[in-house]
């Protein structure tokens, strides 16, 4: 009967309930995914990569048992969108003999890193702009390298017997884009770096999630992997062609050096409207300073997750995956309609960056017109849960998910399927948030809220 139920759950896939299993194991894997010199950064930055300051990396884990395997992969890239996003998930799912709904892929969203969107690059290719968004052969090599690393890791999996959860506050990194000025005006103009004497730096932090969360996966008494998550844009500076995983990757690497045998995987929370702008002036020294602050929270949250009271045994009947299909409204502006986008794309006198943006918009519009939904998955680890939200979801969605979970032990990751760009809350829409990196319209909040209620109601 148990085998039959597992087969049914696997076939149902995204609408499934919990996957019951025994003898769960965990394996971790990594690969270098650093872009070559001359590659475009952030999709539209004018200055292409000129030097490699530190590598871009992929880090993941795979949990296996008698049910379908669950895979989580974090990329030191800016965004993965549309067909390229499905390429990653399908390749990983096939290699692990699992379903695509059991694969979470997220970007950390560093800006001195690539955006990949196969549909957009196809539009660019058709107009003579080959490899202008991303290098397709390089991208395929990265997918292959990560898949091969995972396959090798599966042969050295270790038992997964216990999971610990911990939190720690992060001091002086995050601040909301939203700034209230003395004249009563509200503007979303606090970016990743600001002058320390500016009104943006002097204003209050605003709505953030102040805590970093950590999940520690144990083989009996030995920590095998730690997943840490914090909600902020991960940039101290960018745009000069200096490729870097920035302060989040620096903190992760230092934490790894301090934790041999305990694989460190960092993911970015929902932070479309959260930056380091209040505390970061963009000077070279700030990368290390911000990394120190993040590392301090990583250490404390991990230590808290290793306390006996924070550790729970893995239940063979509780681990599983649920997934909802999410359809979000496409941008209603005239500039985002097909005729206007095609006009920009085919205009040889327009800047390459504008033509790239038009191509990305067309790729997203194609998806919406085909009715392809976004997968909204939850990895239910019993008393601990991991949720992946799309794009640059605002921090309000992360706080919403936490408010729905009584234990507050939910890890909410952002930057999954990124065709959406920014996903503002309804209040942000009402206050006039707008940006050309937004492909959705008002009305997202109640749709996401309804899906989160279903995922977290169990």
Q: Provide the pLDDT for residue 4.
A: 34
What's the pLDDT at 147? Answer: 98
Neighbouring-strand partners of residue 32: 57
Instruction: Please choose, from the candidates 352, 300, 267, 273, the residue with its C-alpha nearest in 3D space to the C-alpha of residue 76.
Output: 267
Rounded to whole angstroms, what are the CA distances from 434 to 67, 138, 209, 273, 367?
Answer: 43, 33, 22, 11, 22
Instruction: Report the pLDDT value the prediction gives residue 407, as an integer from 0 to 100.
Output: 67
Give Cα 112 to chain centroid, integer Å: 16
Give domain limits for the chain.
2-326+371-456
CA–CA distance, 299 with 312 (Å, rounded to integer): 20
Q: How far apart are CA 110 and CA 108, in angstroms?
A: 6
Residue 383: the pLDDT is: 76
CA torsion through residues 156, 158, 230, 430, sign:
positive
- Please, what are the averages of pLDDT over each run of 10 residues along the chain (458 residues)? 34 38 85 98 98 98 93 98 98 98 98 98 98 98 98 97 97 98 94 95 97 98 98 97 98 98 98 98 97 98 97 86 97 97 98 98 98 97 93 98 84 98 98 96 98 90
Q: CA 44, 342, 332 angle in degrees (round to 5)?
A: 80
Helices and strands, counts by H and E, the chain: 12, 24
Q: For residue 215, what are its two tokens? A: 């999940």
The pLDDT score that the predictor gives to residue 458 is: 62
pTM: 0.94
| DSSP secondary structure code for residue 407 in this structure | T
Q: How far apart are CA 61 and CA 315, in angstroms?
A: 19
């Amino acid at each position: 009967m148990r085998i039959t139920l597992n087969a049914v759950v696997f076939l149902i896939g995204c609408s499934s309930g919990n996957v019951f299993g025994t003898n769960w194991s965990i394996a971790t894997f990594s690969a270098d995914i650093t872009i070559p010199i001359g590659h475009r950064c952030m999709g539209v930055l004018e200055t292409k990569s000129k030097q490699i300051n530190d590598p871009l990396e992929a880090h993941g884990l795979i949990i296996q048992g008698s049910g379908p395997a669950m895979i989580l992969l974090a990329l030191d890239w800016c965004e993965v969108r549309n067909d390229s996003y499905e390429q990653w998930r399908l390749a990983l799912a096939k290699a692990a003999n699992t379903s695509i709904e059991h694969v979470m892929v997220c970007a950390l969203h560093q800006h001195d890193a690539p955006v990949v969107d196969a549909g957009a690059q196809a539009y660019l290719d058709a107009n003579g702009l080959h490899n202008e968004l991303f290098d397709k052969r390089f991208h395929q090599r990265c997918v292959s390298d990560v898949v091969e690393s995972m396959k090798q890791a599966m042969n050295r999996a270790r038992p997964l017997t216990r999971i610990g959860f911990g939190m720690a506050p992060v001091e002086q990194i995050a601040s909301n884009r939203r700034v209230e000025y003395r004249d009563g005006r509200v503007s979303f103009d606090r970016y990743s770096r600001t002058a320390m004497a500016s009104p943006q730096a002097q204003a209050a932090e605003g709505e953030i999630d102040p805590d970093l969360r950590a999940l520690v996966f144990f083989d009996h008494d030995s920590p095998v992997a730690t997943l840490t998550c914090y909600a902020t844009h991960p940039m101290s500076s960018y745009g000069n062609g200096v490729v870097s995983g920035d302060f989040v990757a620096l903190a992760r690497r230092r934490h790894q050096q301090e934790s041999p045998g305990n694989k460190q995987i960092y993911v970015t929370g929902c932070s479309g409207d959260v930056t380091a702008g209040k505390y970061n002036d963009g000077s070279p020294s700030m990368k290390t300073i911000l990394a120190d602050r993040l590392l301090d929270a990583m250490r404390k949250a991990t230590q808290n997750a290793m306390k006996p009271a924070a550790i729970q045994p893995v239940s063979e009947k509780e681990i599983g995956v649920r997934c909802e299909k999410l359809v979000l409204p496409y941008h209603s502006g005239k500039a985002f309609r097909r005729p206007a986008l095609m006009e920009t794309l085919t205009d040889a006198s327009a800047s390459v960056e504008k033509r790239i943006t038009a191509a990305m918009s067309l790729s997203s519009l194609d998806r919406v017109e085909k009715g392809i939904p976004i997968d909204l998955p939850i990895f239910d680890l019993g008393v601990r849960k991991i949720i992946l939200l799309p794009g640059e979801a605002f921090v309000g969605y992360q706080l919403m998910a936490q408010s729905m979970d009584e234990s507050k032990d939910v890890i909410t990751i952002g930057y999954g399927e990124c065709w959406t760009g920014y996903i503002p809350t309804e209040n942000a829409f009402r206050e006039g948030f707008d940006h050309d990196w937004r492909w959705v319209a008002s009305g997202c909040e109640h749709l996401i809220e309804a899906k989160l209620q279903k995922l977290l109601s169990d």
